[in-house]
Amino acid sequence: EAEAANRAKSQFLAAASHDLRQPLHALGLFTATLGEKVSGQSERSIVGNINASIESLESLFDALLDISKLDAGIVQTAVQDFPLQTLFDQVQTDFAAQAAAKGLRFKVAPSSAVVRSDPVLLGRVLANLVSNAIRYTQKGGVVVGSRRAGGQTRIEIWDSGSGIPEEYRNKVFEEFYQLGNPERDRKKGLGLGLAIVRRLLDLLALKLDFRSKADRGSVFKVTVPSGEIDAARGFASASGVPGVDILSGKFVVVVDDERSVRDGMQALLGQWGCQVLSVGSIDEAIQALAKRSDTPELVLADYRLRGNTTGIDAIRIIQAHYGKEIASVLITGDTAPDRLRETRGSGYQLLHKPVRPAKLRALMSHLLQPRGHH
């Protein structure tokens, strides 16, 4: 019964999330275009506020997507040896300003530890725990550090927040459960942070301990196997975003059955110097392409198209039309487990709606780079 309820909840979240992602995706594209057009201080500030609202909606959707992906069992781990400091640097960059804005002290103690885990997923665990610590701390501060413990490294996040009373200790790891937020204040998040942490730790086979005293604060400890220093030497964290010039003059086909998304994409890509052909269906794409002598360099296709066709079909038919592979990106608002597995299995680059313009730009630049530069 519990499993059936869980499945029903996942299906509801997937359907609702898909329908809500569409307009949010279009809104993000239009706002990014607007941001590049306005110059006055007051207009820029309004665009900034719209962007902040979009970002907070996006992060709520991302949390829902994380839960769906983890429940669908499609998140793969890529375990490697790496310096813990790379994650600590990221935490410092991501959260220092947020803590300062609340008047909290925020300290990330440097670490020389090398650990063996999945750096991306462990990074998500850390980010969720630190974000929670800052959210529930009103005065004092948050400290992140590590200690060696036998052949392992213990990552610790200390806060001087409100603490978790004994009777709620198990409940805080449930979805949508939030301590001290009966009125569902959105600023306090969605109550998914620790539910995601629990699933990620299960996937990574790591143990979490926490101690908490009401009104005194909490400490969360994640124990990770130590790694080999030599193996971690070649580890590189994510690199910067390439410039826009790579995109200038590139011929891009956009296939999406939502008019607002096509218009938003056309405006944004046009702003980046691309030549854009935007169409609502596969037939429309083939008819329009048959009239042109040039070959597209990139296809951006929405996953769910009209008439039971998909973006995977669109990409394959366009490639067959030219008899060659063309760089392609699938864009999806779907979070249903079977759909996620199908899109993941297609082998094409995948972006989830709402797509952040900076992320789209980085991926397009990467795909369109001259091959020698990878």
Please report, for the chain, the start and end positions of each structural domain, with discontinuous segments joined by +.
1-73+239-374, 80-232
Q: Which CATH architecture has domain 80-232?
A: 2-Layer Sandwich (3.30)
pLDDT for res 236 = 54
Cα four-point dihedral sign 367, 368, 371, 374:
negative
Spatial separation of the C-alpha atoms in residues 128 and 144, rounded to whole Å: 13
Whether the link from the prior residue into 354 is cis, omega within 30° of 0, is: yes
Strand pairing report for 152-159 and 141-149: antiparallel
Phi, psi of 325 (to 5 degrees): -80, 140
Phi, psi of 241 (to 5 degrees): -85, 130
Burial 250-273 (b: 16+ CB within 10 A, else e): bebbbbbbbeebbbbbbbbbebbe
Q: What is the pLDDT of residues 41-73, one digit of tens each?
A: 778 778 887 877 777 677 667 766 777 777 777
- In CATH terms, the fold of domain 1-73+239-374 is Rossmann fold (3.40.50)
Q: What is the pLDDT of residues 252-309, one digit of tens each?
A: 999 999 888 898 888 889 888 899 999 999 999 999 999 999 999 999 999 999 888 9
Q: What is the pLDDT of residues 293-343, one digit of tens each?
A: 999 999 999 999 988 899 999 999 999 999 999 999 999 887 777 777 887
CA angle 332, 357, 72 (to 5 degrees): 30
Same CATH fold, 80-232 and 1-73+239-374?
A: no
Spatial separation of the C-alpha atoms in residues 74 and 284, rounded to whole Å: 33
Query: Which 8-state DSSP code applies to residue 314?
Result: H
How many Cα neighbours within 13 Å face the side chain of 282?
19
Give, rounded to a whole angstrom, the gap between the first and last alpha carbons of the chain.
50
CB 197 within 8 A of CB 106: no
pTM: 0.55
